[in-house]
Structure 1
Amino acid sequence: MTKLAALDNPAWNSLISGHRPIAEINGMAGRFPIAMSPIVGLERYVPEAFGQLAALVPEEDAVGLVTTDSYELPADWELLGEVECYQMVCHAPVGLPAVAPVRLVEADVPAMVELALATEPGPFRAGTIAMGRYYGLKAEDGRLMAMAGERMQPEGLTEVSAVCTWPEFRGKGLAAKLVSFVAAQIAADGRVPFLHVKTENVAAVALYQRLGFEVRTKIVFRLMRRR
């Protein structure tokens, strides 16, 4: 498997590599701890793997699969919704912004969760901060204006995630500063930055392209739960 081929099934390949120490694995199925993320992964999208996943998922717990694979959901699973995204990779980050964001810590988690709930950048929970490094830009009064960080980590790759800004602080280039900073940090580690963005979010796609990201493929996030 080439490095970028791991992105066809990014959650599973993160669970068995960069996030293996925290992963919950059962055969061909795996998940991140429930307090950290609802994202799950399968080695192969076959009924046996879904059965193994069921043992990791409490009833009524909604979980998310992200893959380029097409598959049929078994009858004992219910599809709650899906989102089509572009998967974008960056081989040459534009470099560090003039103003460096601050590293976010546990004390910032309530503000991070509040921002994520208000702007819906994707799944974000109180424990998500443990998935990687998260950074923010704060107002003079200390309020968290915007943030971005790292999520899935297949071998040699790191996802830029949770890119979000409070509406009243938009239009100031905060997202660009954060994404360029996080991408540069990842590249400095010798890894390739990648991210996911809704195909309908034309403005965000254009921003990421200006920052050196290129569309690799389309990928689908599906939210589901056990019946």
Structure 2
Amino acid sequence: MLPSSSASTRISPVSGSDEALLDRPIWSALTTSHKHLAEGGPLARRYPVDMTPFADMVDMSAASFAALGDLMSGSQVAALFTPEPVEIPSGFKVVLAETGEQMIGSPADSPLRDAEIVRLGAADVPAMMALTELTKPGPFALRTHELGTFLGIRAGGELVAMTGERMKPGQFVEMTAVCVHPDYRGRGYAQALLAAVARRIEARGELPFLHVFSNNNSAIALYQRQGMRIRRRLYVTALMREG
């Protein structure tokens, strides 16, 4: 069982200039804390495709799009999170265009009485993949778990809930893959896992945030009840190379 952290480990909010890293969270992550994972160069960067499809560019120029295209092959998808809508040039096609809410804050503690939170690792990847395929929380690949700590809850030997860490722009850490098996919803598992992941982030002197599609009203309401707030809306654009 994982030890719990007290609220005293939480840190103060950062300045507006530091928070601006979240306006382009993918680019910020790939040029700061996750720089060692970045594929690409000064115009375009992406995560390894077996970690996540996230990518971004230094700007929206033709040269930057060309550099992004050079990082993509076959049917690979590049997913962008941007503060403004993306105008796709010729040579690309859009496969997803949505908006998402970026939320920041410290989720309130939510203790469990009937379950134990455990840390997940490489041996749990098949179960993690199965749970995310069932619940569709967003992209989750074979190496996504390497981006940060993932915590889960098992019942009857089956992984029934999990949450973890993904992008790390500066001192911010994104909470991701918030998912609960349909048969185990309504038990407070998502709230407890969010709080547990947030406490681990804050214990390192970092700040939690997350993304949720704008039309996922129930999830937004859950995060707001836990004390998080919407910081801004981002545009989520997934694209492929034509041909």
> TM-score, with normalisation over the residues of structure 2?
0.89
Q: Percent identity?
A: 37
Q: Is the 8 A contact 2:163 2:179 kept in 1?
A: yes
Match of 2:31 among 16, 30, 34: 16
Q: Is the 8 A contact 2:77 2:239 kept in 1?
A: yes
1:220 maps onto 2:235 in alignment: yes
SS at match of 1:21: helix
Alpha-carbon offset, residue 71 of structure 1: 3.2
Q: Is the 8 A contact 1:96 1:184 kept in 2?
A: no
Match of 1:115 among 103, 106, 131: 131
List gaps (5 residues or longer) in structure 1. Answer: none
Deviations 1:118-164 (A, max 9, x none): 1110110011011111110111x211010000011000100000000
Match of 2:42 among 27, 30, 42: 27
Alpha-carbon offset, residue 167 of structure 1: 0.5
Alpha-carbon offset, residue 59 of structure 1: 2.5
Q: Measure, in 1, the Cα distance between the counterparts of 2:182 and 2:153.
A: 14
Match of 1:210 in 2: 225
Alpha-carbon offset, residue 198 of structure 1: 1.4
1:130 maps onto 2:146 in alignment: yes
Match of 2:111 in 1: 97
Q: Measure, in 1, the Cα distance between the counterparts of 2:134 and 2:209.
A: 24
Alpha-carbon offset, residue 68 of structure 1: 0.9
Mapping of residues 135-214 of structure 1, within 5 Å: 135-139=151-155, 141-214=156-229
Alpha-carbon offset, residue 96 of structure 1: 6.3
Match of 1:52 in 2: 67
> Which one-letter code corresponds to 1:51 in the other structure?
A
List gaps (5 residues or longer) in structure 2. Answer: 1-15
Q: Measure, in 2, the Cα distance between the counterparts of 1:71 and 1:120.
A: 24
Q: Is the 8 A contact 1:26 1:56 kept in 2?
A: no
Bigger shift: 30-39 or 54-63? 54-63
Q: Is the 8 A contact 2:171 2:206 kept in 1?
A: yes
Q: Is the 8 A contact 1:85 1:197 kept in 2?
A: yes
Q: How many residues align?
A: 225
> TM-score, with normalisation over the residues of structure 1?
0.95
Q: Is the 8 A contact 1:93 1:183 kept in 2?
A: yes
Deviations 1:51-94 (A, max 9, x none): 1111111132112111113331111110011221110001x442
